[in-house]
Amino acid sequence: MKKSVLLLVIPVVLVVVLIIVFVSVKANSPGKSEESILTVFSETYENIIDISGNIEAADEQYIYAAADGTIEKINFEEGDNVKKGDIVLVMDDIEQQYNIANLEYQIEQKKISGSPKEIELLNLQKKVLEKNLQDRHQAARFDGIIAELSVSEGDYVEAKDKLVTIINRAYLKATVEVAEVDSTRLALNQKVNFTFPAYDKPVVGYVSYFPSVGTITTRGATVIKTEVRIDNPPPEILTGFSFSGTITVTEPVKLILLDKRGIISQGGENFALRLSDSGDFEKIKVEVEPYGKDYVKILSGLKEGDKVQLSALKSGKRPDIT
């Protein structure tokens, strides 16, 4: 009886042992565990140059008092549009008019009793006085906007006092510093993306100018003084606003990448073991390029999201691909 029981127990024990061994081997096998699977992923490469600065108007005119005197007439208010040649303000000019009238009388007298040389000198003096009179009538040099008006009618000003600022907002511009290492990537009309802390919408401009020589800064660095421009700028962006931005050298490129451990090289060709829909691995020929130290760029054969088996496991063994 004992012998019969023993004969029954031995096969059962053997079956249990075999099951344990199988499960253990299965658990430690390099099949489809997460540790042995790599995923093909994408990365967007942006070829850009970082910039920052402060925005300026297309053109600016500062009107200063040419001499001491009183503001007699102001024809515009702050924020008004002006045309080229418009008289913005007039300083008292009675003295200048008197000086010209007096000189004209002297010229007439010299025509009777003076010499031609005396008349010539008086005419030159008259031109100087006419220039002094003209300086009392300050005009706009271009179409623009009265950005700042610092005086009122009746104010007394001294020579070189700043009176008016006129700006042209047909476009806005800025001069930014581009490092010498990036200079070969610069080109006219490259797109520029501006970000203004004081304006929450994206603004797009372009590279309008850069010189053929570099500039050495006070810190000893060589830079390219590059002009960037915004045509038809939003009215909310004021001159003097700070910005950061990027010059787009080339449009962003989507790269398909894979850990280089997922690639197998055989006979001068590259392969990968791709996980198929059926759950099995299939050998796929791929074209790749090195990308950094640990990755390759996929040119063909795999797509984003594909699952690939490691070509070398922690044990150092290579998977069987035959």
224 and 292 together in one domain: no
Instruction: Provide the H-helix boundaries in 258-321.
Output: none
Report whether pLDDT(64) > 60.
Answer: yes
Mean pLDDT, the chain, integer:
86
Q: In this structure, is residue 18 part of a structural domain?
A: no
Please tell me the pTM assigned to this model. Answer: 0.64
267 and 133 together in one domain: no
The least confident of 74-83, 112-121, 301-310 is 112-121
- Kindly report the number of other CB atoms within 10 A of residue 194's CB atom: 24
120 and 260 together in one domain: no
Chain-centroid distance of CA 198 in Å reads 16
Angle at 251 between CA 250 and CA 254, to 5 degrees: 120
Q: Are 196 and 203 in contact (CB under 8 A)?
A: yes
73 and 118 together in one domain: yes
Q: What is the pLDDT of residues 272-302, one digit of tens each?
A: 999 988 889 999 999 999 998 999 999 999 9
Q: In this structure, is residue 15 part of a structural domain?
A: no
* Residue 317 structure tokens: 């063994």
220 and 298 together in one domain: no
Q: In this structure, is residue 128 part of a structural domain?
A: yes
Q: In this structure, is residue 233 part of a structural domain?
A: yes
Domain CATH number, residue 231: 2.40.30.170
Indicate the residue among 251, 282, 297 that finishes a domain.
251
Question: In which band, very low, low, confident or very high, does the pLDDT at 96 lie, cut at 50, 70 and 90?
Answer: confident
Instruction: Provide the H-helix boundaries in the chain.
Output: 2-28, 94-113, 116-134
Domain CATH number, residue 72: 2.40.50.100
Q: In this structure, is residue 138 part of a structural domain?
A: yes
Indicate the residue among 192, 222, 251 that finishes a domain.
251
Q: Are 224 and 247 in contact (CB under 8 A)?
A: no
Indicate the residue among 227, 251, 275 that finishes a domain.
251
Sheet strands (E) in 131-216: 137-139, 144-149, 156-157, 162-179, 191-196, 199-209, 215-216
139 and 286 together in one domain: no
Q: Give the span between the Cα atoms of 245 and 315, in whole angstroms.
A: 49
Percent of the chain clearing pLDDT 90 (strictly above): 63
Q: In this structure, is residue 312 part of a structural domain?
A: yes
Q: Give the span between the Cα atoms of 61 and 59, in whole angstroms.
A: 7
The single residue listed with the structure tokens 């029981």 is 5
219 and 264 together in one domain: no
Q: Are 151 and 162 in contact (CB under 8 A)?
A: no
Closest CA to 86 of 17, 26, 164, 30: 164
3-state secondary structure 5-44: HHHHHHHHHHHHHHHHHHHHHHHHCCCCCHHHEEECEEEE
Q: What is the pLDDT of residues 114-137, one digit of tens each?
A: 888 888 888 898 888 888 888 889
244 and 291 together in one domain: no
Q: How many structural domains compose the chain?
A: 3
111 and 77 together in one domain: yes
Q: Give the span between the Cα atoms of 45 and 289, in whole angstroms.
A: 15
Q: In this structure, is residue 216 part of a structural domain?
A: yes
182 and 224 together in one domain: yes
DSSP string across 205-229: EEEEE--SS-EE-TTS-EEEEEEEE
Q: Are 65 and 163 in contact (CB under 8 A)?
A: yes
153 and 88 together in one domain: yes
Q: Are 246 and 190 in contact (CB under 8 A)?
A: no
53 and 198 together in one domain: yes
Residue predicted with more confidence, 119 or 16: 119
Report whether pLDDT(262) > 50.
Answer: yes
> Domain range spanning residue 193?
49-57+168-251
Q: In this structure, is residue 112 part of a structural domain?
A: yes
Q: State mean pLDDT over 189-215.
A: 95
Domain CATH number, residue 290: 2.40.420.20
